[in-house]
Amino acid sequence: MTPQPRPLAPAAPPQVRPGPGGAARAPGLPSATGAWRHSLRFRLALTYSALALLMIMLVSAGVVILLLSRMDQQFTDRLNERADTLAEAITGSGQGLGRTASGPTAYTMLIDKSGQVIAASPILREYDRSPYPFGQQGRVDIQDTTVRAVQRPVGDFGTLWVGLPEDDLIAARESALSALLIALVFTPLLLLLVGWWVGKRSLSGLEHAATLADRLDPTRSLDTLPLPTREDEVHRLLSALNRLLVRIEAGQAREKQLLGQIVHELGAPLTVLRASLARAGERTGDAEVMRASLVADELTFTTQDLMQLARGQLEIRLAWHYIPATTLRDRLDRLVPGTAFTGQWSVGILCDPDRLTQALRNLLANARRAAGPDGTVTLNLTETPECLTFTVRDSGPGLPTDLGERIFDPFVSGSGSSGLGLSVSRQIAAMHGGTLKGANHPDGGAQFILTVPSAALADEEDEEDT
């Protein structure tokens, strides 16, 4: 029973680069460890927090300074009022002399003209009947208590000294400064969290659009991005991106159409020229004619690569056939003379012979170009229950290390070729449900490994489907 064609494999996903720790990430995206530093949401929250903190510091400092100055002014007014009241009582009738010592916590002293304390409140009894010790000091320490003092003349009695403890004022000042310090410590954290949350909600539409845009496959139709309901800056940005996507898709369509027309016009003449040169070479055996025939072969395959690039993978359908591997080997031997074939060529292959020949011929032609006329090119085939593996190796200088995976991009070449062969070969491998990888061999030269599912696996899948 001839195996039925299998459905096309999905397009190969965009290549990813390993991030820190081996994690894969899409090109151009920040790594997981650095995502928060590259987040617009974080930068907005940080800027908002810094500006808010600066404003809070200025406003809070102004409020605290004003509050403390008002408290200090009220304390001074209270002290002056008390001193004026006692001085008026003493000078008025002289009967208020005893009031200077009223109350256990009163700080008053009456000093005669000779500087001798003649009366003192109970808490200042140690200074009674002794020389006045404080001079003109406005703030003194008495029994571990800071006292602010003023003096008033009381006529013939001398001078009245009145003090008021600052303990309550100092405690209030320390409480205000502590509250300000606590606010300056915790407010930035709170503002940063609030700013992060607000930024997340405000930029959720933009983040969703960025996720969708990252999933766009440029090889397929460029669908437009959904627009948010609110017409804000995000809406205008996404609208501009959608218009850009439409222009890109239109430009790609025009380029593909033009490329397809050029290839179509070149294809027929090249086919005739190739056949004519091949017959002439077989008939005459002329080396120049044989060389021209090889150039015609090269141009023919280049036009095939260009045609596949113009059509795109989705527009190409494979013609599945089950062929002996030796048939594929004979075709490749004629196309790329001088190739050494090793491995298990007695197996069968389920493939599109033309497309798989094109893919392997591109790899062998690149290898021959890199190895030169005196170098070696080998194609090894191995079979496992899961897949067939074609390994192309050459004795050339190897792949440029600076290109990496870009060697498979269209029109990127490190060997002087058109740069289409590797891209087309990988595309054909993906269409067969396989892969194509390239690297430098440890013993020198380049090595490309193309895998396709084995025919035995295809038979099992077909039986399960039935």
Residue 371 to residues 171, 390, 394, 447: CA-CA distances in angstroms? 89, 18, 6, 12
Does a structural domain hold residue 332?
A: yes
pLDDT of 311 above 90 = no
* Domain assignment present for 331: yes
- For residue 414, is pLDDT > 60? no
Task: Work out the average pLDDT over 269-283.
Answer: 79
Q: What percent of the chain has pLDDT over 70?
A: 75
- Domain of 321: which CATH number? 3.30.565.10
Of residues 299 and 419, more confidence is placed in 299
- Tell me, yes or no, whether 224 lies in a domain: no
- Residue 403: inside a domain: yes
In a domain, 166, yes or no: no
What per-residue confidence (pLDDT) applies to 29? Answer: 43
Give the per-residue pLDDT at 449.
95
Give me the half-sphere count of Cα atoms (radius 13 Å) on the Cβ side of residue 123.
18
Query: How far is it, in rounded angstroms, from Cα 309 to Cα 317?
Result: 14
Mean pLDDT along residues 217-221: 58
Domain region containing 341? 317-465
439: in domain: yes
Q: What is the pLDDT of residues 27-64, one digit of tens each?
A: 444 444 445 556 666 777 777 777 877 887 788 788 88
Among 58-67, 142-151, 297-306, 448-457, whose mean pLDDT is lowest? 297-306
Position 461 in a domain: yes
What is the rounded average pLDDT for all residues in the chain? Answer: 77
pLDDT, position 8: 36
Residue with more model confidence, 17 or 56:
56
Identify whether 180 is part of a domain: no
Name the burial class of residue 105, with classes exposed (0-12), middle (13-18) and buried (19+) by CB atoms within 10 angstroms of its CB: exposed
* Whole-number pLDDT of residue 68: 83
Q: What is the pLDDT of residue 305?
A: 66
Torsions phi, psi for 4 (to 5 deg): -80, 150
Per-residue pLDDT of 333-354, as tens digits, reads 888 888 999 999 999 999 998 8
Average pLDDT over residues 131-136: 88
pLDDT value for 246 = 83
Whether the model pTM is above 0.85: no
- Mean pLDDT along residues 410-425: 66
Helices (H), 94-166: none
Pairing of strands 339-343, 377-383: parallel
CB 219 within 8 A of CB 84: no
Domain count, the chain: 1
Please state the rounded mean pLDDT for residues 193-209.
72
117 Cβ contact partners less than 8 Å away, ≥ 6 residues apart: 109, 110, 111, 127, 128, 129, 130, 131, 132
